[in-house]
Amino acid sequence: MRILIHGGFFSESSQSNETKLLKQKALLDILEKSKVYLKNNNAVSTSIFATSLLEDSPLFNAGIGSQIQQDGKIRMSAAIMDGTSHKFSGVINIENVQNPIFVAQKLMREDDRVLGGEGATKYAFKEGFPLFSTETKERKIEYLTKKENLGTGTVGCVVLDQNGKLAAATSTGGKGFEIPGRVSDSATIAGNYANEHCAVSCTGVGEDIVSGALATKIVTRVTDGYALKDAFKKTFEELKPYDGFAGAIAVCKNGDVFFSESHPKIVYASFDGESNTVFT
């Protein structure tokens, strides 16, 4: 059993020691809860469970605490990939739900598995998700004072379960101050991808992650025989010509886990089958 979770990027200068410790505690707490959950659940359910807990923490930019776009609205994106069935589902720019990842979960049973904008929001309400504002006081102040948020980031989780199955889930509140309609990487196969060999969740600048086809490239390279570490090395090298800003976490069927970042610093915690590691 392996679980890795991430809470996105932050700028060291934007963060007090107190926030750092709070993030560390939140990540370890979510990791512990997810380990317990994984004992009786599969990789897909556990990746959704962990991501929903990350969405519920205002310390991260997903669900509660999501960043606000140019027009004052919050639009969130989330996706799940089941490495066994090869099914991908997601919501792009959904509004007014607490947990976008649960809407993505509902979509797993549909023929139309990726919904965007108004269609995604309408689908959630039709399915009984209650209206919920994920806006926090902190994000509102940043929006009103036009202060860029450098302290919170996209969240995600990758899991290898006891039956050797893999899954990835990712959720984001976007970049902040973006043009309404901008599409994040998180609900694309660049930001979230898995198959029976490897599962990857990304964070960073969506445009760079999509340009680098990050998650898909790492998974494909592992599938074609690369060691996980080498798949990361080559894929991150390819971000360099355009100074791509990205980070990723991954787990393989053989139990290998890895993370990397193009710039400091991704916030991350993992369980490698024996012990926990936390990096904030």
> What are the residue numbers of the active site?
154
Q: Comparing C-alpha atoms, which of 70, 109, 115, 71 is closest to residue 94?
A: 115
Residue 203 as a binder of ligand GLY (CB under 6 A): the answer is yes
Nearer to ligand GLY, 38 or 78 (CB): 78
Smallest gap from Cβ 148 to ligand GLY, in A, equals 13
How many positions of this chain bind ligand GLY (CB under 6 A)? 11
Please give the structure tokens belonging to residue 159: 């899991």
| Cβ-contact 262, 248 below 8 angstroms | no
Nearer to ligand GLY, 45 or 171 (CB): 171
Alpha-carbon distance 184 to 100, whole Å? 14
Q: Is-cis flag, bond preceding 240, omega within 30?
A: no
Alpha-carbon distance 234 to 111, whole Å? 35
**Number of residues assigned to the chain:** 280
| Cβ-contact 18, 26 below 8 angstroms | no
Residue 154 as a binder of ligand GLY (CB under 6 A): the answer is yes
Smallest gap from Cβ 181 to ligand GLY, in A, equals 13
- Following CA atoms 26, 174, 14, 50 in sequence, which dihedral angle do they give, to the nearest 10 degrees? 10
**Containing H/E element for 51?**
helix 43-56
Using the rule CB under 6 A, which residue among 55, 142, 185, 261 binds ligand GLY? 185
Using the rule CB under 6 A, which residue among 184, 188, 192, 270 binds ligand GLY? 184
Q: Which stretch binds ligand GLY (CB under 6 A): 87-95, 110-118, 204-212, 227-235?
A: 204-212
Residue 204 as a binder of ligand GLY (CB under 6 A): the answer is yes
Residue 251 as a binder of ligand GLY (CB under 6 A): the answer is no
Residue 201 as a binder of ligand GLY (CB under 6 A): the answer is no
Please give the structure tokens belonging to residue 229: 């570490």
Smallest gap from Cβ 175 to ligand GLY, in A, equals 5
Nearer to ligand GLY, 9 or 271 (CB): 9
What SS3 state is found at 108? coil
Kindly list the residues in this chain that would bind ligand GLY in the complex (CB under 6 A): 154, 172, 174-175, 184-186, 203-206
